[in-house]
Structure 1
Amino acid sequence: MNDPEPAKAVWNRFDDELIYRDAVDRLHAEDTVLRGYLAQQHMTGVDERHVTAEFHREHVVAEVLASGYGEFEEYQDAVEQRDHAVAAYGRTGLSIRRLLLLIWLVTLRWQVSFVRRQWRTSLSAALAAQVGPVLRRLIGEDHNTLLVTPDILGLVEVHDLRYVVPHREQENLDAKMELMAGGTIAISGPRGVGKSTLLRDLAEKRRGDSNLVVPVEIPSAYVPQEFLLSLFQRVCEQFLAMHGRAPDSSFVFLVKLRKHILLRIRAAVSFWGRLLVAAALLSLALAPAARAMNRSLDGGVSGWLTRTWDDVWASAVQLWTDHPWLTRVPLALLGVGILVSLPRWQKKSPLLKKSPLLKECVNYLYLLRTAQSTSLATTTGLTPFSAGTVGAGRTTTLSSRTLTFPELVVHFRDLLTRMAKSGNGRVFIVIDEIDRIGTAEEARSLLAEIKAVFGIPNVYFLISVAEDVGADFVRRGLPVRDIIDSSLDDVVHIEPRTLEESHAILQNRVPGLTTPFIALAHCLSGGITRDLIRYTRRMVTIPGTGRNQLPQVAHALLWDELRETLAGFRVLLARADHPADWAQRMDETRLAVLLLQERPGDERTSLARDAVRRLIDTATPSASSAADAGPSLETRRQWDELGAYGDFMLTLLDFFGRENFPTLEDVKDAGTEWDLQRLAEARRELALSPAATRLALKRFREAWRMPDHSA
């Protein structure tokens, strides 16, 4: 490493150079990509000293200062004006002009301080943009083929919406909702493409602005009435929460508490009633004796009670007059405390007037969560002093019944309609997981049951459906009509991610991950977001074994993936019958799995590659006779898919496992047969046509002059 070129010519002031040096020092501690490369022990020439020297080269400093929006130029102009003002102020004597110059100088000093802070803020971003070019000059062209991942928090927090990159169809969805005053929009697409993430992100962005957002997930096994009942409750809870009233989930406890209070009141009334009756009877019986005792006493009992009361009252008056700190001051403090607590009591008072919708939501929650029962018992009887009892009794019981499905629909539609009209916002009901309840027929059955609550003004139902359900809606122009056409107002189809979108996703989740590794994860996943993150998570664990070069990472990742796929395929083989002439192909799968288990990721051996190639090249045996029909068509298709998958994996191994990986300019020619997007499309084509997959792979290999795997 040569010494850095002198950068003194760039700086006109020493203070500016100090600010730049301080920003470079902070870059070493704050930039996660740079920290990751500096932590690599095996990289010669990449240490803090060499990196700092590279950032102080004259052409690097010039590029950093020229970036941004001209903050450094504004700072230099402000400093120059301040210096001129200082010089003019020193040359001017005591006069009005000197006073004006002083005011101008104070203003210029404030301006210099402000633009200096702006430049210092922009300097960090400008230096971060130079990290890649600096590392490329230090490491060479191998910079992009080194796997360095200092920050993988985005792979750990998969469902964190901070790492979500908006899909290109999200603008289409927003535009459709703006042109609709309510309706039902389905989000369709392959599983794992990001439908649930799009719905969650949309729900978070629509919260506020008087909008009611109700996210709900449908269970795999459902009953339409129970699902609608649960959705009804969820809407009431969210409406109460939006207005600052936490929904009470302890209705059963309240019912028990109310019953307990009523029983205590009944017991108290019974006790005190019997006590008063007993006291009245005793008073009536003992009245003559009491009057005789009163006459025998001097002055009577009433006189004695009067004298006693007068003595107590006189003592209390004297205490009130002579000791105010013990009597009047505590009472005054108690009164002030009561006055201060009155607003709090009024706020917490359940008798406070509420809006009708809030009251109805509370009532609906009570109705939907509880089964009410009331009993009324009446007993009359006659019990004389003689033995024997004559009486009569009657008991009446009233109990509530659950709402029927039509009644539930009527009440729910009425509540949603009034909620949508209650403010300036809209109601968004986000129903997720419909594509996971089973087959497409079950999804159609669900839509047929719950479509009764669709079609309310300013109420939007956003639901995720499987790809085939969305395809049924696309065919609505044909003569055949089904429940999908009449249930949905529109469908937004989510396509798999392109290479550019996968690059944005992984750069956001794993800063510093270079394009070749992103392209490997993208091609292997086919642009499916869930698989993209899953393969990247597996990829970043490989450098822990001492392998961080692209060929090493590609071999380790692809061989492990191929081994797991072959092992899973052999499990499927046990479910089908195979004739004797299929023994050769069965043995090839066993041998390939064993080789991959013994030597995973070993790029120096061709044994595993040859075994996989023989598995690809082995033709499907044809049936020798009608009696020996061989495996079923489904089993034969699985064998074809396995052969195409093996061809796909070997193509990835040959392309990403080469020592001299193509430059970025070589892989950016979109629209040609050698564009990397073709590999991702071939991966998705496996589920549709193994033959078409092989044809796409053949064209890709021919474009890159790679050897063909066919026999």
Structure 2
Amino acid sequence: MTSFQAREGLDPNPLKRDPLLFEMYMDALDHVLGRREIQTALEEYGMAASRLRLQLTGDAPRVFSRAAPEFRAYQTLALKPDRLVPDENELGVLRPLAVGLAVLGGLSLSTGVLGGVLGWTSAWIALWAGAALVVAAVTAWLIRARMTFLGRPLLSGEGVPGYDPELDRARSSLISALGRGLLLEEVREVINDRRVGQFGTAFLVTGSPGLYELHDSIFTVPTRTAQEVQRLLDTVSGISLGIAGPRGAGKSTIIRYYCDPSQTAGDDLRCMVSAPVDYAARDFVLHLFSTFCKSVIRHYSARPAAGKTPGRRLLAVMSAARRLVSDLAIDILLLGAAGAGAWFLLPDPWPLPAVALVGAAGLWRGLSAAMKIIQSLDGRPDAETRTLIRAARSHLARVRFLQSHSLNWTGSIKLPVGLEGQAGSSVARAEQPLSYPEAVEQFRAFAHRVATFADRKGHSVFIGVDELDKIGTAEQAERFLNEIKGIFGLPHVYFMVSVSDDALMTFERRGLPLRDAFDSSFDEILRVGALDYAESRRLLYRRIIGLHEPYVALCHILAGGLARDLLRTARQLVRLGHALSAAAAGDSNGGHHSSFVDYLFTAETGAAPTPPPMLTELSAALIAEELRRKARATVHTGVEGQCRALLYETAYGIAGECEATAIVDALLDKGPLSPLMRDFAAYAYFCETLREFIGRLDGASVARCVDERTWPGSFDALAGARYAFAVDAEIAWETVSAFRTAWRLPVRRLV
């Protein structure tokens, strides 16, 4: 490694070495900081946009790393050795060399001029030698200036669109990835981390557009599973990977992140399909084949110059022309000096052949540089890529259409005497649909061809099969995998398939040959588990501004650490908070104006401010609503007797404060309970524990719950109890009891 490469390694911020990326990043950041949501938060918490801009500029490598595929593609191009700016020590020798050559050239020119005045016959030799030395000095200076940070954009056009279309495309993909919501989430998280009073109990959230954004960025939160998936993919050159886990844990998000072209840009080929609930193996493989062909056509037909405005096209042409002139300037100086020296210094008959040879070399250099720049401006796929596109279109037509070919031949002979004869022949060939083995074979052959082509270019091929966990029964999922596993196992192809935890548990309970079914289909199976508290907080901080730590803990525990349920609970919390604010203020607008800004306004007008909802009030309402939902879901399952009346009163009662303690006491007093009622009693026990626990939270207890993750009274412990309901209610009950013991709350026994 050279010294300037080492220096680049010590300074990883790409904004310092790429002025164009810096400009694009700042434009995107200014756009985010100008959003109404961010402006309101900055005013509410007394933060300056300039400080956030400065912090996010310094943290640009971490921000860029959230768009990992695009950032890696950009770094691959931007950190090539010929793009790195050398260290001053390596360029230092060029400065004294240029100065020395210039001095010698000046002395030689002066000697030649003086000799001409005095009538020396050899004065021309000194003139030409001096001119050659001056040209060499200018050349050394140009080389040094061109390799400096400021000289490269000035003399070569680097740093403006069009200098390198491939690097331009990498920059645009990186900034586009940030513009899809990643940069906005980063700004939200920075505001949440910098605000004062994170352990407060007042509900001061004024808006939550991030909770309703369509894009799903759970994978961009650096969870343990996300990092494990990335490490695994970095160590293999092709894999069939199963992503298992409960519904709502984020399996589909991980698969979409790698395999959905609408989620992730870059040069990797991505293809995404959904497994049908009611399927035929042949139809599914043909559908996958068709989708893969469309992805190949769309991906490799995209021209780098597409979508440029006329102004950017003109700028690209001007930059290319400047680059061409810059590349040829040094060559002309060097070759001109060499040609002049050969013409005047070589004896006859060598000057003319030498000059012709130098001219031919100059012409070849000029044509090569011009053709290279013309090809970079054209942007059309090369011959091999066009062949691949034609093959994809041919396969797509073969899969989608039943073709028929016919050949007709007729001939006639007419004699002068009026006799006429005619003969004809017809041959028709109808192309039959692909059988299932043929479809698998052709798909594997074409996918292998595409993957080999992509690998030569340093790219990868990702194919995702989502919604497999939605297939009705475990037997159907096993049969589906066994029938389509023939498409797996291709070099340089990354297959990612979602698998339900429910199906896995069903296999285990029934004693089916689980390992045979899955081990023959996948190289690895990774399980997406529940989020811990730190991951849940990071996810919510990137979606909503102003949510204090106790509210984050409330959402995390009620969701059991499942990402999908975490966002649902947060949305429900915000709706309840606005409803309570509206009820307190007598406002019919839903309470969306209750915030710190309202306090300032009412202080100026002299009106009494409406107090925001507090933690105990809001958590009690949220827990009661959650218990009502579970009661409504249970009462319609055929429960009889007094338990049915209790459930109905809990679900639809008019008086219903839904006291979980009274519900648990009433159910336990009825003696042995049915399995369904035991589950509901355990859930009511969990809800009552959560209500009592939230009422005791303060800054010190929050800090302990976060720091001591293995403590039975931590946030993750109670969230684990909520997660355990998917496995067994008695396990959940025992976990809740251990939590209550840690907090010195009375413990109940499940009978």
State the TM-score, normalized to the length of structure 1: 0.59
> Which position in structure 2 is the counterpart of 1:562?
627
1:243-263 CA distance string (max 9 Å, x none): 1269xxxxxxxxxxxxxxxxx
1:197-253 CA distance string (max 9 Å, x none): 11222336996665322122222111111111111111111111121269xxxxxxx
Identify if the C-alpha distance between structure 1 residues 366 and 685 changes in structure 2 by more than 3 Å, giving closer, same or farther: same
Identify if the C-alpha distance between structure 1 residues 243 and 29 changes in structure 2 by more than 3 Å, giving closer, same or farther: closer
Give SS of 1:425's match: coil
> Which position in structure 2 is the counterpart of 1:239?
296
Output the CA distance in 1 between the equivalents of 2:209 and 2:407: 64
> Which position in structure 1 is the counterpart of 2:693?
655
- Give yes or no for the alignment of 1:671 onto 2:705: no
Q: How does 1:572-651 map to 2 (within 5 A)?
A: 572-573=637-638, 578=640, 583-595=641-653, 598-599=654-655, 602=657, 608-609=659-660, 611-621=662-672, 636-651=674-689
Output the CA distance in 2 between the equivalents of 1:445 and 1:655: 47
Query: How far is 1:166 from its partner?
Result: 3.0
Which residue among 242, 245, 248 is the counterpart of 1:189? 245
RMSD between aligned residues: 4.4
> Which position in structure 2 is the counterpart of 1:506?
540
Amino acid in structure 1 at the alignment position of 2:692:
D
Identify if the C-alpha distance between structure 1 residues 469 and 395 changes in structure 2 by more than 3 Å, giving closer, same or farther: same
* Contact 1:186/1:470, CA 8 A, preserved across alignment: no
Which residue among 131, 149, 164 is the counterpart of 2:205? 149
Query: How far is 1:190 from its partner?
Result: 0.9
1:96-136 CA distance string (max 9 Å, x none): xxxxxxxxxxxxxxxxxxxxxxxxxxxx9999689633x57
Query: How far is 1:590 from its partner?
Result: 2.2
Query: How far is 1:29 from its partner?
Result: 8.9
- Give yes or no for the alignment of 1:373 onto 2:412: no
> Which position in structure 2 is the counterpart of 1:307?
none
Query: Where does structure 2 lack aligned partners over 5 or more consecutive residues?
Result: 1-31, 59-186, 304-373, 582-612
Query: Where does structure 1 lack aligned partners over 5 or more consecutive residues?
Result: 1-26, 40-47, 56-60, 70-123, 137-142, 247-342, 623-635
The structure number with the bigger radius of gyration is 1
Output the CA distance in 1 between the equivalents of 2:671 and 2:192: 54
> Which position in structure 2 is the counterpart of 1:203?
259
Identify if the C-alpha distance between structure 1 residues 609 and 456 changes in structure 2 by more than 3 Å, giving closer, same or farther: closer
Identify if the C-alpha distance between structure 1 residues 461 and 514 changes in structure 2 by more than 3 Å, giving closer, same or farther: same
Identify if the C-alpha distance between structure 1 residues 648 and 484 changes in structure 2 by more than 3 Å, giving closer, same or farther: same
- Give yes or no for the alignment of 1:552 onto 2:617: yes
Identify if the C-alpha distance between structure 1 residues 400 and 155 changes in structure 2 by more than 3 Å, giving closer, same or farther: same
In the alignment of these two chains, the number of paired residues is: 476
> Which position in structure 2 is the counterpart of 1:681?
720
Output the CA distance in 1 between the equivalents of 2:471 and 2:428: 42
Identity over aligned pairs, percent: 28
Query: How far is 1:661 from its partner?
Result: 8.1
Identify if the C-alpha distance between structure 1 residues 153 and 661 changes in structure 2 by more than 3 Å, giving closer, same or farther: same
* Contact 1:34/1:131, CA 8 A, preserved across alignment: no
Query: How far is 1:641 from its partner?
Result: 0.9
Identify if the C-alpha distance between structure 1 residues 208 and 425 changes in structure 2 by more than 3 Å, giving closer, same or farther: farther
Give SS of 2:203's match: coil
Output the CA distance in 2 between the equivalents of 1:373 and 1:517: 66
Give SS of 1:243's match: helix
> Which position in structure 2 is the counterpart of 1:402?
433
- Give yes or no for the alignment of 1:414 onto 2:465: no
Output the CA distance in 1 between the equivalents of 2:564 and 2:540: 12
Query: How far is 1:414 from its partner?
Result: 1.1
Output the CA distance in 2 between the equivalents of 1:352 and 1:126: 47
> Which position in structure 2 is the counterpart of 1:103?
none
> Which position in structure 2 is the counterpart of 1:532?
566
Which residue among 522, 532, 541 is the counterpart of 1:488? 522
Output the CA distance in 2 between the equivalents of 1:709 and 1:163: 39
Amino acid in structure 2 at the alignment position of 1:677:
D
Give SS of 2:195's match: helix
Output the CA distance in 2 between the equivalents of 1:479 and 1:619: 42
* Contact 1:196/1:432, CA 8 A, preserved across alignment: yes
Output the CA distance in 2 between the equivalents of 1:637 and 1:496: 25
- Give yes or no for the alignment of 1:571 onto 2:610: no
* Contact 1:589/1:615, CA 8 A, preserved across alignment: no
Query: How far is 1:360 from its partner?
Result: 1.2
* Contact 1:523/1:677, CA 8 A, preserved across alignment: yes
Output the CA distance in 1 between the equivalents of 2:536 and 2:527: 18
Give SS of 2:206's match: coil
Which residue among 182, 205, 227 is the counterpart of 2:284? 227
Query: How far is 1:176 from its partner?
Result: 1.8
* Contact 1:432/1:464, CA 8 A, preserved across alignment: yes
Query: How far is 1:192 from its partner?
Result: 0.5
Amino acid in structure 1 at the alignment position of 2:690:
L
Query: How far is 1:515 from its partner?
Result: 0.8
- Give yes or no for the alignment of 1:356 onto 2:387: yes
> Which position in structure 2 is the counterpart of 1:305?
none
Query: How far is 1:594 from its partner?
Result: 3.4
Output the CA distance in 2 between the equivalents of 1:428 and 1:683: 35
Output the CA distance in 2 between the equivalents of 1:364 and 1:351: 20
